[in-house]
Amino acid sequence: MTNIIPEPHRYAVCAPEDTSIKKFYQGVYEKTFLFFHPFIKPKRTGSEEISFRDFPDKNEIKDTFEVVTWERFLSLSGITNVKQLDIGLRSSISGLTNSAKDDEMANLIRRVCIKYNLLQPGEGQLPDILINSLFNSINQLGYDWIWCGDQFCTERRLEKISDLINSRNRFSEYRNFFTHHNELLVTTHWDNHYSMLCSSKKIIEAIVTASNLEGFHCDDKTEMYWSLQ
């Protein structure tokens, strides 16, 4: 007898590929804001090579690096738009088919990162450098607790938001964060350099402003591979 896993709760997981993100959450969340994982730059100067692996402490990462937005990277690199940048980042992790990838763009991103001493955004999980500001803004809206789940939310834990902010641990095992009564969801697809905030228009606007998130609102046609559309 074959065991079939039930369909996941839409309020607790990332939308699947090849489908409209907005339509997937229809009836669950009013809006979805897609926000980019930023490039980061060490605050200290020096010629030594620095990587995420050197900083297992989440809070130390925030204290050691500064955010470099995609808009700023476009200015530094001469890349025309965020779609090209997203394709280049995806190509750098072999995340696209041969017909869709752009190795020249991936190599350009690497060269610019070397020139300006930047680290590329990570894929597949909420960036450590954004976690505290994001959770702080959620906390300030009156939410004290949040569920933390794995990719398909078959495993989840209820955590106090203030504990997550103060924790030194990196939350690499978590892909989904949602409030107890399903008012909002922060989710990350395993192969993407962005995350998504799903909630009401009012809540999203408050969090985006407080956390300085860079990105765009999904429309009816936006899918996971939006840069190829």
Widest pairwise Cα distance in the chain:
61
**Mean pLDDT value across residues 58-81:** 93
The model's pTM is 0.93
Which of residues 116, 137, 158 is at a domain's end?
116
Asked if the structure places residue 3 within a domain, the reply is no
Question: Of 116, 133, 154, which residue sits at a domain end?
Answer: 116
- Among 9-13, 28-32, 92-96, 168-172, whose mean pLDDT is lowest? 168-172
Which of residues 116, 146, 180 is at a domain's end? 116
Specify the pLDDT at position 173: 82
In terms of domains, do 130 and 223 share one?
yes
* Residues spanned by the domain of 130: 21-36+124-228
Residue 35, pLDDT above cutoff 80: yes
Confidence of residue 64 (pLDDT cuts 50, 70, 90): confident
Looking at the domain assignment, is residue 13 inside a domain? no
Pair (128, 179) in one structural domain: yes
In a domain, 143, yes or no: yes
Confidence of residue 191 (pLDDT cuts 50, 70, 90): confident
**How large is the average pLDDT for residues 206-210?**
98
Same domain, 30 and 139: yes
- Please, which residues have CB within 8 angstroms of residue 163's CB and are 6 or more apart in sequence? none
β-partners of residue 177 are 148, 186
- The answer to which of 17-21, 58-62, 82-86, 173-177 has the lowest mean pLDDT is 58-62
Same domain, yes or no: 136 and 29: yes
Q: Is 27's pLDDT higher than 70? A: yes
Q: Are residues 92 and 159 in the same domain?
A: no
The answer to whether position 1 is within a domain reads no
Query: Looking at the domain assignment, is residue 59 inside a domain?
Result: yes
| 224 and 132 belong to one structural domain | yes
Residues 75 and 100 in one domain: yes
pLDDT score of 170 more than 80: no
Q: Is residue 5 part of a domain?
A: no
Residues 102 and 138 in one domain: no
- Residue at 210 is within a domain: yes
**Do 130 and 108 share a structural domain?**
no
Where residue 72 falls among pLDDT bands split at 50, 70, 90?
A: very high
Q: With 90 as the cut, is the pLDDT of residue 47 above it?
A: no
| Same structural domain, 93 and 28 | no
Between CA 89 and CA 86 the distance in angstroms is 5
Q: Is residue 164 located within the same domain as residue 220?
A: yes
Q: What is the pLDDT of residues 81-131, one digit of tens each?
A: 999 999 999 999 999 999 999 999 999 999 999 999 999 999 999 999 999
Rounded to an integer, the average pLDDT of 178-191 is 95
CA distances, 148 to each of 124, 161, 202 (Å): 15, 10, 23
Where would I find the H helices in 54-189? 58-64, 70-77, 82-92, 103-116, 128-140, 161-166
pLDDT in tens, 213-229: 999 999 999 999 999 98
Same-domain pairing of 223 and 161: yes
Number of domains in the chain: 2
What's the pLDDT score for residue 129?
A: 93
Q: Is residue 188 part of a domain?
A: yes
